[in-house]
Structure 1
Amino acid sequence: MLENYFLKTTPNGVTQKEFQRLLAVQAAVEIIKASVGSGSLAHDAESVEKHVSKIADAIQEALAK
């Protein structure tokens, strides 16, 4: 999922920073879905809302090292 994180060219109208954030958020959502997959849809949505930004931040921080 993050294999395109360091691409120099991005889709039209999207900056590299925006594109990287999109990929990090998509990865974060997948991590959350895998960890709460057996819960209700409302619980899943709550988990995404509470944690997606923090997980995406952590992904981007790890990739910056």
Structure 2
Amino acid sequence: MSTTVQISASAAQSLSRWRAQTEEQKREARLAVVVDRVASSMAMENEQVSDAWIQQAKQTGV
């Protein structure tokens, strides 16, 4: 059984850009999302999150 999913032109363009990235670029993008989610979670708990910490975490993967 085959299922065809139709997506918008903008979604197709976004998917093409993602697929064109190198594995390193994809890894960095995924890491940035994780850091952003952690920072958002910390902010919701009223924990201090500095811009410097966010930048360092994105650069070092920590």
TM-score normalised by structure 2 residue count: 0.47
TM-score normalised by structure 1 residue count: 0.45
Larger-gyration structure (1/2): 2
